[in-house]
Structure 1
Amino acid sequence: MSDSSRDTAEGAGWGAAERGTYRALVPARTEQLSWLSPKTLWAARNGVLASLFGDPTGRTRARWAAQRAAAGAPADKVVRRDDPDRFSFLVIGDTGEGDEPQYAVVPGLLKEGRDTRFAVLASDVIYPVGSADDYGDKFFRPYRDYPAPIYAIPGNHDWYEDLGGFMRVFCDDAPPLPPEPAARPLTGAWLRSLLWHRARPDDGRHLDEARKLRSAPGQQAVQPGPYWAIDAGPLRIVGIDTGLLGTVDAEQGAWLREVSRGPRPKILVTGSPLYVDGEHHPCAIEGGGTVDDIVRDPAHRYVAAIGGDIHNYQRYPVEVGGRTIQYVVAGGGGAFMHATHTIPRVSVAGVTEDDFRCYPLRGDSLAFYSGLYGRRLRLRRFFTLTQDEATAVVTERLGVRPGRAPATAARVTRRTRLVAGLLGTGRRPDRRRRFRLPVRKLYTQVFSPGSATYSPPFFKCFLRLDVTPDAVRLRCHAATGNRAQEVDPPVEDEVTIPLG
């Protein structure tokens, strides 16, 4: 097995390594999506409109569910497969920017996933707004050689055109919804409707041609709607749709309670992680209760909850009533990298820093961003930190053990401390500051979306889950963009989850 980022800097993708073969897969004309472009931000405005004038997602989702039921989808929204008691599947989160970082994941994914029974895309299948005509280069082409079915749950970006593209691709070419009645003038709903982004009338004209890239019988999958359950071997996988704002409507909440009953072990896949960046986000259900209430109920037998939306890997083993539930963030499937060096020292729900895992390591994340902003601001000598310098200053600020033993002893200087602070490196919770800039929030909302680069290391990842009647082995595999990690994708984290 090849070195991981926890072993060596080369295992993380640093150094003068040979570039991977993924570049041969990338289309000749590739869009380099800019999240700082006014055009992109304007197209993706529906999330802001929903937060200001009311979120119509639940009502629209219910209409999609009713349409699928009328078309013959199972009332319980359960896909019943014939998988054996021992099988494997993949989980890939936040994939579809359609550029080099997404395609860099493909060679390792095909190698590690060649014997898997299916894959699940966890959130944000297509950026920026889920258009049907973007599926060609951002879904069908990258996964054309994956031989098994692919199921998906939508993320907020898939909802920016009312989920039309997603439903056409994953739900038996569902026809467009009829328009809703006009809202009363001068109401919030009326203002929202005036500004609401909608799909082009001719969107999807290239979809039939794109489907030919994944047309083999063994690749086909039809799911009951944007939320579903899959019975596979001894396991039930439950996928929920958290819409534009990371919440669940009452109808889906009632379904989730019903489908979670019974003794079968379960894994939740959600568009919004329940634990992320050292914080608990239980995910509210309209009418009362939370998704995490359902996950924690021992009668429901959830063993893990995997969420996308945040573009890195994190794992929190939370003790609940004498058992451990693995809460995982798995959003590193292709989109820009969300920083991990901004995560403070972890202490949440009994999970300490010693229990917590993330990829990329915080030191690698800080080194990546210091180099990026050194280049952009033309201040390389000031901003750029070596991997060992970044690891040393993160270790000092958080008071934690380094994720990787440094190759050379690096001294923490005033400059490295200042750069780490400017770039939002987390601090110990017991360290007080009179003035606190909202750097973590800025990194998530502004700096990270502008961090896409097109040369390794990319710090992407995917999950392989190996299921037996007794346990699930979950492994996080890295994709750096270098040839060495394509040939033998390193394991950045591994945990065995009992099903008993």
Structure 2
Amino acid sequence: MSDSSRDTAEGAGWGAPELGTYKRLMPTKVEKISWLNPKMLWAARNGVLASWFGDPTGRTRSRWVAQRTAAGSPADKVIRRDDPDRFSFLVIGDTGEGDDPQYAVVPGFLRTGQDTRFAVLASDVIYPVGSADDYGPKFFRPYQDYQAPIYAIPGNHDWYEDLGAFMRVFCDDAPPLAPEPAPRPLSRARLRSLLWHRPRKNDGQRLADARELRSAEVQQAVQPGPYWAIDAGPVRIIGIDTGLLGTIDAEQGAWLREVSKDPRPKILITGSPLYVDGEHHPCTIEGGGTVDEIVRDPAHRYVAAIGGDIHNYQRYPVQVDGRTIQYVVAGGGGAFMHATHTIPRVDVANVAEKEFRCYPLRGDSLAFYSKLYGRRLHLRRFFTVTEAQAAAVVAERLGIPLTRAQQTTTRITWRIRLVASLLGAGRRPDRTARFRLPVRKIYTQLFSPSSATYSPPFFKCFLRLDVTPEAVRLRCHAATGNRAQEVDPPVEDEVTIPLH
């Protein structure tokens, strides 16, 4: 097995290694998403409108589900497969930007997943607004050689066009919803309706040709809607749709409570992680209760909850009534990397820093962002810190040991400390706090298209889960964009989850 980032800097993708072969898979012309483009910002306005004028996602979702049920989908929304008691599947989140970081994951994904029974895409299948004609270069092309079905749950970006393209691709070519009656004049709903972004009239003209790339019988999967359950071997896998604002509607909540009563062990897949960045986000259910209350109920036998949306990997082993539930963030499948160096020293739900795992390592994340800002602001000599320097200053600020096994102590200068503070390492309050630069979603939205994010290392990842009647082995595999990690995708984290 190849070195991981926990072993060596080379295992993390640093240095001058051989570039991977992923570029051969990419289209000749790649559209790079720029959130500096006013046209792009205007197209993606529905999330803001929903937060200002009320979120219509729950009602729209209910209409999609009713349409699928009327068309003959199972009312319980359970996909019953014939997997054996021992099988494997893949989980990959936030994939669909269609550029270098997404395609860099594909060679390792195919190599590691060649014997798996299916894959699940967890959140944001397509950026920026889930358009149907984007499915060719951002879904069908990259995964054309994966010889198994792919199921998916939508993320907020898939909802920016009311989920129409998602339903066409994953739900048996579901027809468009009939128009709703216009809201009453002068109401908030009326204003929202007037401003609401909708698909282009001709969107989807290239979809039929794109489908040919994944047209083999073994690749086909039809799901009953944007949320579903899969009975696979000894486990039930439940996927929920958290819509535009990271919540679920009352109808979906009632369904989740019902399918959670099944006696077999369960794994939740969600678009919004329940533990992330050292914080608990239990996910509100309309009408009362939370998703995490359902997950924690011992009668429901959940053993893991895996969420997308945040573009990195994190794992929190939370003790609940004498058993451990593994809460995982798995959104590193292709979109721009969200920082891990801003995660404070972990102390949440009795999970301490020594039990917490993340990828990329915080030091690698800080080094990555220091190079981005150095290039973006034309201040490379000031901002750029090496991976060794970044790891050392993160360890100092958080009071933790160096993570990389072969790393030695590096001298930390005032410049390194200042850069770490400006980039929010450890989020420790200090005199420079008010001057911190954006390094998470704001940076992604503003700067990623025009920074050095199209050359390795990318710090992408995907999960492989090996299921037996006794346990599930979960492994996080890295994809850096370098050849070495394509040939033998390193394991960045591994945990065995008992089922009994």
Q: TM-score range by the shorter chain?
A: over 0.9
Q: Are 1:451 and 2:421 matched, yes or no?
A: no
Counterpart of 2:298 in structure 1: which amino acid?
A: P
Task: Report deviation, 1:439.
Answer: 5.0
Residues 105 and 334 in structure 1, CA contact (< 8 A), matched pair in contact too: yes
Q: Could you report, residue by residue, the CA deviation over 1:185-228 in whole angstroms, capped at 9, with x for unpaired residues?
A: 11111111111110011111111000000000000000000000
Residues 391 and 406 in structure 1, CA contact (< 8 A), matched pair in contact too: no
Partners of 1:301 and 1:439 lie apart in 2 by: 43
Q: What stretches of structure 1 move > 3 A for 4+ residues in a row? A: 405-409, 432-440
Partners of 1:179 and 1:262 lie apart in 2 by: 37
Task: Report deviation, 1:38.
Answer: 2.0
Matching residue of 2:164: 164
Q: Could you report, residue by residue, the CA deviation over 1:340-375 in whole angstroms, capped at 9, with x for unpaired residues?
A: 001011000000000000000000000000011101
Task: Report deviation, 1:51.
Answer: 0.1
Partners of 1:118 and 1:226 lie apart in 2 by: 17
**Matched ranges for 1:371-382 at <5 A:** 371-382=371-382
SS of 2:212's partner is helix
Task: Report deviation, 1:444.
Answer: 2.5
Residues 262 and 299 in structure 1, CA contact (< 8 A), matched pair in contact too: no
Matching residue of 1:15: 15
Residues 388 and 406 in structure 1, CA contact (< 8 A), matched pair in contact too: no
Q: Could you report, residue by residue, the CA deviation over 1:47-71 in whole angstroms, capped at 9, with x for unpaired residues?
A: 0000000000000000000000000
Counterpart of 2:228 in structure 1: which amino acid?
A: W
**Matched ranges for 1:59-458 at <5 A:** 59-405=59-405, 407=407, 409-427=409-427, 433=430, 436-437=433-434, 442-449=438-445, 450-451=447-448, 453-458=453-458
Residues 340 and 362 in structure 2, CA contact (< 8 A), matched pair in contact too: yes
Matching residue of 2:51: 51
SS of 1:419's partner is helix
Matching residue of 1:25: 25
Structure 1 gap segments, 5+ residues each: none
Partners of 1:11 and 1:204 lie apart in 2 by: 41
Assess, with a 3 A threshold, how the Cα gap between structure 1 residues 434 and 17 changes in structure 2: closer, same or farther.
closer
Partners of 1:404 and 1:435 lie apart in 2 by: 28
Task: Report deviation, 1:480.
Answer: 0.2
Partners of 2:201 and 2:181 lie apart in 1 by: 19
Counterpart of 1:58 in structure 2: which amino acid?
A: G
Partners of 1:411 and 1:303 lie apart in 2 by: 43
Alignment TM-score, normalising by the size of structure 2: 0.97
SS of 1:476's partner is strand
Q: Could you report, residue by residue, the CA deviation over 1:107-162 in whole angstroms, capped at 9, with x for unpaired residues?
A: 00000000000000000000000001100000000000000000000000000000
Counterpart of 1:274 in structure 2: which amino acid?
A: L
Matching residue of 1:480: 480
Partners of 1:257 and 1:427 lie apart in 2 by: 37
Task: Report deviation, 1:436.
Answer: 4.6
Residues 124 and 156 in structure 2, CA contact (< 8 A), matched pair in contact too: yes
Residues 149 and 218 in structure 1, CA contact (< 8 A), matched pair in contact too: yes
Partners of 1:415 and 1:38 lie apart in 2 by: 36
How high is the sequence identity, in percent, across the aligned residues?
80
Counterpart of 2:158 in structure 1: which amino acid?
A: D
* Root mean square deviation of aligned Cα: 1.3
Partners of 2:435 and 2:373 lie apart in 1 by: 18
Residues 422 and 432 in structure 2, CA contact (< 8 A), matched pair in contact too: no
SS of 2:439's partner is helix
Assess, with a 3 A threshold, how the Cα gap between structure 1 residues 438 and 50 changes in structure 2: closer, same or farther.
farther
Task: Report deviation, 1:183.
Answer: 0.9
Q: Could you report, residue by residue, the CA deviation over 1:171-192 in whole angstroms, capped at 9, with x for unpaired residues?
A: 0000000111101111111111
Alignment TM-score, normalising by the size of structure 1: 0.97
Task: Report deviation, 1:445.
Answer: 2.6
Residues 471 and 499 in structure 1, CA contact (< 8 A), matched pair in contact too: yes
**Matched ranges for 1:488-499 at <5 A:** 488-499=488-499
Partners of 2:368 and 2:493 lie apart in 1 by: 20
Partners of 1:98 and 1:456 lie apart in 2 by: 16
Residues 339 and 448 in structure 1, CA contact (< 8 A), matched pair in contact too: no
